[in-house]
Structure 1
Amino acid sequence: MKKYNVLVVGGGSTWTPGLLKGMCSRKETFPINRLVMYDIDYDRQQTIGEFAKVLFNEEYPEIDFSYTTDKEEAFQEDIDFVFVQMRTGGYAMREKDEKIPLNLGVIGQETCGPGGFAYGMRSIRDMVELVKDVRNKTKDAWILNYTNPAAIVAVALQQIFPEDKRILNICDQPENLLRSYGRLLDMNERDFDPVYFGLNHFGWFTHLYDQEGNDLLPKLRKTILEGGFRPADYEQRDQSWLDTYAMVEQMVQDFPDYLPNTYLQYYLYPDKVLNKLDPEFTRTNEVQAGREKRVFEDCARVAEAGTTKDSNVVENDAHGEFILIVAESIAHNKGNNFVVILKNDGIISNLPDDAMVEVATSLTANGPRPYAVGEIPTFYKGMIEGQYAYEKLTAEAFIEGSYSKALQALTLNRTIVSATKAKEVLDALIEANKEYWPELR
């Protein structure tokens, strides 16, 4: 079996240990020849990199592993897969994404609303540079992108690199939901055959079939309405995530047709969610005090001890596992089914062809083969059209340096609505993002 050369961009992420552990557990089905981790933050990369050395020494000694902050070392001609999980601006900018809108009276969240807009404008720049760096070395490497907000990034990359068929934007939230359904029903999520439509962080499961073809969605709906909803790994989750999943019960009660993505709470109940958010202590602060602290302390402890024994560093392995099984399906032409982000081109027949939709698809060595959704009902069509217009205008605002389109985008977003408020928020975000955004005229 061929062994693959893999580059991880954003190797200093708190999610990287789970990805590395996944590589060890899947070394028979997705064998890796060379793994390079690249990050621009040396301290973060070193902490995770030294942990990786210990882990691989114990579980994957045959792998050729290195980590670097040198782009020339990282990007090579023989790369097969690039796993991307960048956070432009780090937690310092994420905190501003959340707190600036909140202090102006609207939702502050890292991928939704004005926070997602700010993050998206930053991410586009670095993702475009990354694609060019990869393609300067190889035309054949698969770029599997986790970088958020994936919806905006996907739209921008499609506009800038329309002929590049080896960029695949993915998100682990549908995978997390499938795992949560599996725990609720005492089933393996890989045994589900899901039907899903929407945009990233803005979609719905319409059916969830088992191996015998039975639709489990009615049973799931009933179970959620009677007992609530929690993430599959709820013992490891911070409180804000437990609150986020708990809102699914409300969404299913009000809109019982389908099972929603958790992020829809920000768009369906912006007033209710806003009242729960603390402008002085946002999810960024929670992550820094929680997962961030635990992961980096544990990685440093492993590196010093020289063993992973008693380590609890791997949390929420859905993130690491998902990108690996996606790569495996492509590498071995398995054609397994996943929910990923693709150019619509008629998949959802009553949405624009250029929309970057999130749907179920079979992933092969020749790329995605999506399953047709057909027409969707008026309510969902209207929701998606408004959100896609916001995403498209955001990408165009970056590409064209357009203040007008940036203002239009934020005015359309359901977390803001008011053009007056949108302008106030936009001007504050421009000031905070001078180092990262193009000049908007």
Structure 2
Amino acid sequence: MKKYNLVIVGGGSTFTPGFLKSFCHMKEQFPLGKLVLFDIDAERQSVIGEFGKILFKELYPEAVFHYTTDIAEAYQDMDFVFMQMRVGGYKMRELDEKIPLQHGIIGQETCGPGGFAYGLRSTKEMIKAIYDIRQYSPNAWILNYSNPAAIVAEALRREFPNDKKILNICDQPENVVRSCSRLLGCHFKELDPVYFGLNHYGWFTHIYNKKTGEDLLPKLRALIAERGFLPQDAEQRDKSWLETYGMVKQLMEDFPDYLPNTYNQYYLYPDYKAKHLDPNFTRANEVMASREKRVFEECKVIINAGTTKGYINIHEDAHAEFMIEVAMSIAYNKNDRFIIIVENYGAINNLPDDGMVEVVAELGSNGPKPMRVGNIPTFYKGLLENQLASEKLAIDAYYEGSYQKALESLTINRTVNDAKKARIILDALIEANKDYWPELK
């Protein structure tokens, strides 16, 4: 069986240890010849990297493992590139969240002004990274799950229109499906979803039982009304995530047709969410105080011990298993089904062809084959067209250096919907991002 070379861009992420464990666990299914971690933050990555050396020495000695800050060393002769960049780190994420909240607008990593700010930062660095990758590995599959995926996907569509080996994907729809399986008392692989939307803004129209063909959405609707909704790994989640999933019950009471992506709450209840977010302690602070601290401490314990035996507490994240299965479906031409971000071209019949939409697709060695969902109802079409316009205007602003387009992008976004607030927040974000954004005139 062929062994694959793979690099994780953003090797210093706290999600990386979970990936490393998953690669070890799945080595018979997806064997690696070489796994490289790459990050521009050498100090941060060194902790994760040293943990990885010990892990691979003990559990995966047949694979070459190392970490680097050198582009050529990272990208040379790769089959797959996993992109998990966080441009500006948690310091900038904190500003993304807190600046809008100072003006009564949602502060969130991927939605609203925070997502806009993060998107412009990510666009510049993502484009550079792909040009670098193509210099050293012209045929590698680039699997991007960096946030905000919708804005980044629109930028990459424009910059690399002929590169068919760039795949933008998000694990949140998969997490919702797995959470449904918890509620139904079955394995998530028994479920066959039908989904439409944009990244972090979509709905499940059906969730079928693969064996019987039964649509389980009516049963899920009743169970959620009775018991609420929890993430499939609720015991490992922070408080804010439990609250996020908990809002699914409210969403389905108000809009019972379909099962929503959890992020829909930010677009459908923007005033409510803004009032219930703490402007002094946001999700970024929560992550830094919990996951960030916990993962690095666990890695250091293993480094000091020189072994994982009896010490390893880091769990395998569902999204790591998910991304490896995506790579496997491509590598072995399995044509498994995943919810993927693709250029529309009729997948959602009554949305623009050039929109980057999120739908179920079969995925093999020739890329995704989207499953068409036909026309969507007027309510959902209106919501998505509004957000699609906001995302396209954001990338217009990036390419044109246009303050006006940036203002329009924020004004039209459902989390803002106020031009005066949009201007105030935009000016503050420009100041905060002056080292990252192109100049907007």
TM-score between the two structures when normalised by the length of structure 2:
0.98
Which residue pairs with 2:180 in the alignment?
Answer: 181
Which residue pairs with 1:243 in the alignment?
Answer: 243
Which residue pairs with 2:390 in the alignment?
Answer: 390
Which residue pairs with 1:166 in the alignment?
Answer: 165
Which residue pairs with 2:103 in the alignment?
Answer: 104
Whether 2:331 is the aligned partner of 1:331: answer: yes
Offset at residue 61 of structure 1 (A): 0.9
Which residue pairs with 2:400 in the alignment?
Answer: 400
Tell me if structure 1 keeps the 8 A contact 2:34–2:65: yes
In structure 2, how many angstroms separate the alpha carbons of the residues matched to 1:133 and 1:67?
17
Tell me if structure 2 keeps the 8 A contact 1:199–1:356: yes
In structure 1, how many angstroms separate the alpha carbons of the residues matched to 2:271 and 2:316?
30
For the residue of structure 2 that corresponds to 1:168, the secondary structure is strand
**Per-residue CA distance 1:25-64 (angstroms, 9 max, x = gap):** 1111110001110001111110001111111122111110
Offset at residue 191 of structure 1 (A): 1.8
Tell me if structure 1 keeps the 8 A contact 2:19–2:316: no
**Per-residue CA distance 1:46-83 (angstroms, 9 max, x = gap):** 0001111111122111110110111121120x210000
Alignment of 1:323-402 (within 5 A): 323-402=323-402
Offset at residue 96 of structure 1 (A): 0.4
Offset at residue 395 of structure 1 (A): 1.0
Equivalent residue letter for 1:138: S
Which residue pairs with 1:266 in the alignment?
Answer: 266
Alignment of 1:250-289 (within 5 A): 250-289=250-289
Offset at residue 307 of structure 1 (A): 2.0
In structure 1, how many angstroms separate the alpha carbons of the residues matched to 2:311 and 2:241?
23
Alignment of 1:41-440 (within 5 A): 41-76=41-76, 78-211=77-210, 212-311=212-311, 313-315=313-315, 317-440=317-440
User: What is the aligned length?
Assistant: 440
For the residue of structure 1 that corresponds to 2:417, the secondary structure is coil
Offset at residue 310 of structure 1 (A): 4.2
Tell me if structure 2 keeps the 8 A contact 1:236–1:315: no
In structure 1, how many angstroms separate the alpha carbons of the residues matched to 2:392 and 2:44?
33
Offset at residue 277 of structure 1 (A): 0.7
In structure 2, how many angstroms separate the alpha carbons of the residues matched to 1:167 and 1:310?
40
For the residue of structure 1 that corresponds to 2:142, the secondary structure is strand
In structure 2, how many angstroms separate the alpha carbons of the residues matched to 1:268 and 1:96?
23
**Per-residue CA distance 1:129-184 (angstroms, 9 max, x = gap):** 01100111222100000110000000010011111100000111011111111111
TM-score between the two structures when normalised by the length of structure 1:
0.98
Return 5+ residue gaps in structure 2 as ranges.
Answer: none
Tell me if structure 2 keeps the 8 A contact 1:17–1:313: no
For the residue of structure 2 that corresponds to 1:290, the secondary structure is helix
In structure 2, how many angstroms separate the alpha carbons of the residues matched to 1:215 and 1:224?
15
Tell me if structure 2 keeps the 8 A contact 1:236–1:316: no
For the residue of structure 2 that corresponds to 1:123, the secondary structure is helix
CA 314–175 in structure 1, closer or farther in 2 if over 3 Å, else same: farther
Equivalent residue letter for 2:39: D
Out of 371-380 and 305-314, give the one that drifted further.
Answer: 305-314
Whether 2:16 is the aligned partner of 1:20: answer: no
Tell me if structure 2 keeps the 8 A contact 1:86–1:147: yes
Offset at residue 316 of structure 1 (A): 6.1
In structure 1, how many angstroms separate the alpha carbons of the residues matched to 2:356 and 2:321?
24
In structure 2, how many angstroms separate the alpha carbons of the residues matched to 1:65 and 1:94?
30
In structure 1, how many angstroms separate the alpha carbons of the residues matched to 2:191 and 2:162?
32
Out of 131-140 and 281-290, give the one that drifted further.
Answer: 131-140
In structure 2, how many angstroms separate the alpha carbons of the residues matched to 1:206 and 1:58?
45
In structure 2, how many angstroms separate the alpha carbons of the residues matched to 1:209 and 1:286?
36
How much identity, in percent, do the aligned residues show? 63
For the residue of structure 1 that corresponds to 2:65, the secondary structure is strand
Cα RMSD (Å):
0.9
In structure 1, how many angstroms separate the alpha carbons of the residues matched to 2:206 and 2:316?
25
Tell me if structure 1 keeps the 8 A contact 2:4–2:33: yes
Tell me if structure 2 keeps the 8 A contact 1:3–1:31: yes
Tell me if structure 2 keeps the 8 A contact 1:98–1:107: yes
In structure 2, how many angstroms separate the alpha carbons of the residues matched to 1:62 and 1:191?
33
